Amino acid sequence: MLKTALRLAAISFVVFPVSVSAQPVQFSTHRDYPSGYGPASIATGDVNGDGIRDLAVANRLDDSVAVLLGNADGSFQRPVSVYLGPNSSPCSVGIGDFNRDGRLDLAVANSGANTVSILPGNGDGTFQPALSLAAGTGPASLAVADFNGDGKSDLAVANTGSNDLSIILGNGDGTFQPAQRWVTDAGPSFVAVADFNRDTKPDLAVVNSGSGTISVLLGNGDGTFQAPSTFGAGGTHVGSIAVGDFNGDGAQDLAVTNTDANTVSVLAGNGDGTFQPLRDFDAGQGGPRDRQRRQRRHGRREHGLGTRRRRRRHLRRAARVCRGQRLQRARGGELQRRCDLGSRRRQQLFDDRVGVAGNERWKFSGRVDA
């Protein structure tokens, strides 16, 4: 059963072209690759040094991290998993060269074990046994950057259960200093790195799923941070955050997903660590505007089926679909018939046109003018 679930658990990838104007983005067909059970986070990097990007996936439900080596044609090989220990529940994975040997390593936040696993890479897609670092309670997200400017990769870890961030400075040899903790808002669940005040020192943006807010912590460049500034998001349930200069003014901006409102909130940065009021955008299907459109369509359909003329039209169409069937005359001019919709296509056509549901055999009554 578990193996079946493992096979079924998969990650999807889409390929999209670079959009240079406000044209709608076109997506090609996605391909699914197995990853493990409960894939929760993904990171990319060339872990085997062949010049092609590979994937690292944290599988929360089977306590593993999987690596899918990339092929030259854009496809990926079967996952190779590393087990991280019972009930480790890895939720986030990052890639960096923590021991500076030129081979990429993995960092995995284990939300069940309150640790971060460091897996030194062998440069061929395999990894050495994991080194375990203490994090806060419920580490849910992890980011890799050099927070103290010593050229050695460090870690920022959002601890959902202890409402804080762990900053874990790297020694450059694969070992790390004890974590320093920085208080955030309630339930930090996602962390991203950018330079929001343009002082070349990395800053942090943290999504607080417990309070529906975003905390921005400006870095001092020595591994310490200023007190967080807190911004509201467009919903009470925030998901993940992305950083980038979305309006091209040279200042880093924020985009955060609102899982309850089905929107994305964008906060345009002012370039000094402050942000303009948020703007909300529909996140696609399920957004407010889309929902209104669906409701209007649904209302029209329901109304249409309620009118005698439209109902007759539906029945005439249904009669054509069910050609060859027996029609039985019933009392009062009513026609009754049974039709066997042998093919799925017919069944779908029938369903679409008549608006009734059932199994293979259908029975309904109504006046048919045809």
In the complex, minimum distance from the CB of residue 234 to Ca ion, in angstroms, rounded to a whole number? 18
Q: Is 270 exposed, middle or buried (0-12, 13-18, 19+ CB in 10 A)?
A: middle
Q: Judged by CB under 5 A, does residue 245 bind Ca ion? A: yes
Q: Looking at this protein, which amino acid is placed at residue 114? A: N
Alpha carbons 355 and 359: distance in angstroms, whole number: 13
Give me the least distance between CB of 171 and Ca ion, in Å please.
Answer: 9
Q: Which is nearer to Ca ion, 104 or 109 (CB)?
A: 104
Q: Which of residues 303-332 bind Ca ion (CB under 5 A)?
A: none
Query: Which CB sits closer to Ca ion, 29 or 200?
Result: 200
**Beta carbon nearer to Ca ion, 272 or 302:** 272
The verdict on 62 binding Ca ion (CB under 5 A) reads: no
Strand partners, 119: 106
Contact with Ca ion (CB under 5 A) among 9, 55, 241, 251: 251
Q: CB within 8 A of 108, min separation 6: which ones?
A: 58, 65, 84, 90, 92, 93, 94, 116, 117, 119, 130, 142
Q: Which is nearer to Ca ion, 46 or 282 (CB)?
A: 46
**Shortest Cβ distance from residue 91 to Ca ion (Å)?**
23
* The two structure tokens encoding residue 125: 């897609």
Beta carbon nearer to Ca ion, 216 or 318: 216
**Least Cβ distance, residue 358 to Ca ion (angstroms):** 55
Residue selected from 75, 247, 307, 328 as contacting Ca ion according to rule CB under 5 A: 247
Burial 163-182 (b: 16+ CB within 10 A, else e): bbbbbbbbebebebeebeeb
The Cα–Cα gap between 322 and 331 comes to 22
Chain positions 103 to 142 lying near Ca ion, rule: CB under 5 A, are 103, 105
Buried b (16+ CB within 10 A) or exposed e, 223-235: bebeebeebebbb
Q: Which of 165, 159, 74, 179 is nearest to 113 (CA)?
A: 159
Region of residue 164 (left: phi > 0; alpha: psi -120 to 50; beta: else): beta
Residue 174 beta carbon to Ca ion: minimum distance, rounded to whole angstroms: 7
Nearer CB in complex with Ca ion: 124/260? 124
CB 99 within 8 A of CB 155: no
By the rule CB under 5 A, 180 interacts with Ca ion? no
Helix or strand (DSSP H, E) at 250: none
- Count of chain residues binding Ca ion (CB under 5 A): 20
Site string for Ca ion, 184-213 (x = CB under 5 A): -----------x-x-x-x-x----------
Q: Is 101 in the site for Ca ion (CB under 5 A)?
A: yes
Residue nearer to Ca ion on the CB measure, 118 or 322: 118
Q: Which residues contact 85 (CB under 8 A, 6 or more apart)?
A: 63, 110, 113
In the complex, the smallest distance separating the C-beta of residue 151 from Ca ion, rounded to whole angstroms, is 7
Residues 143-172 that bind Ca ion (CB under 5 A): 146, 148, 150, 152, 154
Under a CB-based contact definition with an 8 Å cutoff, are residues 356 and 364 in contact?
Answer: yes
Compare residues 146 and 164 and give the one whose CB is closer to Ca ion: 146
DSSP reduced 3-state for 360: coil
Smallest distance from Ca ion to CB 165, Å: 15
Binding site for Ca ion (CB under 5 A): 97, 99, 101, 103, 105, 146, 148, 150, 152, 154, 195, 197, 199, 201, 203, 245, 247, 249, 251, 253
